[in-house]
Amino acid sequence: MYKRHIEYIKKGMIDMKEKRTIAEKIFDAHRVDMPFPDTHVLKLDAVFCHEITTPIAITDLQKRGMDRVFDASKIKAVIDHVSPAKDSKTAEQGKILREWARRHGIKDFFDIGRNGVCHALFPEKGFVRPGYTVIMGDSHTCTHGAFGAFAAGVGTTDLEVGILKGVCSFRTPKTIKIVLNGKLRPGVYAKDVILFIIKELTVNGATNKIIEFTGPVIDEMSMEARMTLCNMAIEAGGTCGICYPDATTVDYLWEFIKDEFETKEDALKEYSKWISDEGAEYEKVYEYDVSDLEPMVTFGYKPDQVKTVREMEGTKVDQIYIGSCTNGRIEDLRVAAEVLRGKKIHDNVRGIVSPATPAVYSAALKEGIIEIFQDAGFCVTNPTCGACLGMSNGVLAEGEVCASTTNRNFNGRMGKGGMVHLMSPATAAATAIKGSITNSRLFEEGGV
């Protein structure tokens, strides 16, 4: 524990906590300074970078004569937002990142051909471990909390200091705990759960707070599903979504950690220190039974404007987009393909699927999923963030509507004057077939 932390405790300025949340434990293990009682400067285990927010940090460091990196092995970089480059400006952004990575010997740099959407690619490479501190100049960095890490999106200046010094400042962590009981019905997924939670919390409900997801429903979820859940914590204002590490986490990470541990049980034992203590203090605890939850979809320009798919049934769409750091992983593509198998998309819609990483793409090819998408009439693109934020590969025209598996429905997000309805891959695939918002047969036949 950092000495000034003990000083503040002795002076009675902050409490000594015997029972701690996972975030408090991670803060305690990483604190290098506490300039003020509510300001924690943490040592970083990983700094992730992409070509949109990093180049300005790089050029600023150069201008200041401080073009250095704290530890090249802890910096991971990818070109993902616009790939391949669509114009001279995006080519320049890629160039700045590429040359910087070469200059500093950053080995984990993923250029086109090896690149994928950052929050799908980096977990796949085993770069996030339980108990880690991670920052990135990207708000959806909260995704990595799925591994029991503290992972937060930051701006370019925080990123710049992270690159230079390997530290970042945070206020005292406060946590909201969400306990999910019951069992999800067939055709209902992590995306439906998180849309429901955002509706409950509102877009400002978790501001400055960490959202801890726990309960039997989380225990049952794959790492992919947990990532979908944590990915959208920011949509309720959350600093980070976080799940406790368990056997599922160890299985996912095993190929990367097998040299560190003799058995999976050993790994699990070690990682179990990153679980909140019984009796830890929470800002608020919400408990839901999600056994009756139906597929959900957004309707306005805010991610907390959520209805059931049934309520939105029949809403016409022009484009279907399946991909992104929320729902572009292999599990997502499998579900969509199951709905699309042997079917054609409606004449009035166009479909785009962007597998989130090269590994997802390869697996989808091998499993025949790409063929199902193509036979259904989908365009299959390379991995990129592209359309999700209206930068490339599927930008909407004025007045057009998109059924999307992404995370934001803000005005203009996918193109000026466009409307985005957020939903699960199953709902998006069913919507593609019908041409208007509808439930998938996986839900309909699941015994409503």
Partner 1 sequence: MKTFGGKVLFLDRDDINTDEIIPAKYLTEITKDALKPYLLEDLRLEGFDSKRDIEGKSVIVTRANFGCGSSREHAPWALEVNGINVVIAENFARIFRQNMYNCGMFAIELPKEKIDYLFDTYKDKDTTIEIDVDNDKIIISSEGKCEEIDFTIGEFDKALIKEGGWVGYADKHY
Interface contacts to partner 1, rule CB under 8 A: 32-33, 35-36, 38-39, 41, 52-53, 55-56, 59-60, 64, 66, 81-82, 87, 89-90, 92-93, 96, 137-139, 141, 152-158, 160-161, 164-165, 167, 169, 171, 203-204, 207-208, 234, 237, 239, 301-302, 389-391, 408, 410-413, 416
Least separation in angstroms between CB 189 and partner 1 = 23
Residue whose CB is less far from partner 1, 107 or 171: 171
Minimum distance between the CB of residue 44 and partner 1, rounded to whole angstroms? 12
91 vs 365, which CB is nearer to partner 1?
A: 91
Q: Which is nearer to partner 1, 111 or 277 (CB)?
A: 111
3-state secondary structure 69-124: CCCHHHEEEECCCCCCCCCHHHHHHHHHHHHHHHHCCCCCEECCCCCCCHHHHHHH
Residue nearer to partner 1 on the CB measure, 19 or 284: 284
Residues 6 or more apart whose CB falls under 8 angstroms from that of 63 comprise none
Q: Are 294 and 192 in contact (CB under 8 A)?
A: yes
Q: Which residues contact 365 (CB under 8 A, 6 or more apart)?
A: none
Name the residue nearer to partner 1 (CB basis): 21 or 141. Answer: 141
In which region does residue 131 sit, left (phi positive, over 0), alpha (psi from -120 to 50) or beta (all else)?
left
Q: Cβ 13 to partner 1, closest distance in Å?
A: 11
CA-CA-CA-CA dihedral for 47, 51, 55, 61, to nearest 10: 10
When the beta carbons of 50 and 185 are compared against partner 1, the nearer one is 50
Which ranges of 302-345 does DSSP label H, i.e. alpha helix? 309-312, 324-327, 330-340
Least distance CB 351 / partner 1 (angstroms): 22
Please report how close the Cβ of residue 105 comes to partner 1 at its closest, in angstroms: 22
Taking the CA atoms of the chain, what radius of gyration do you get in angstroms? 21
**Bridging pattern class, strands 401-404 and 419-422:** parallel
Q: What is the smallest separation between the CB atom of 447 and partner 1, expressed in angstroms?
A: 38
Using the minimum distance from each CB to partner 1, give the nearer residue, 55 or 323.
55
Least gap, CB of 385 to partner 1 (angstroms): 9
Q: In this complex, which beta carbon is closest to partner 1, that of residue 157 or of residue 272?
A: 157
What whole-number distance in Å separates Cα of residue 214 and Cα of residue 440?
27
Cβ proximity to partner 1, 159 vs 370, nearer residue: 159
Q: Do 434 and 343 contact (CB within 8 A), yes or no?
A: no
Degrees, nearest 5: CA angle 216-218-220 = 70
β pairing state of 306-308 and 296-298: antiparallel
- Cα–Cα distances (Å) from 102 to 57, 98, 334, in that order, read 16, 6, 37
Q: Name the minimum Å distance from CB 90 to partner 1.
A: 5
Type of residue found at 93: Q
CB 412 → partner 1: shortest distance, Å? Answer: 4
- In the block, residue with structure tokens 């390869």: 362
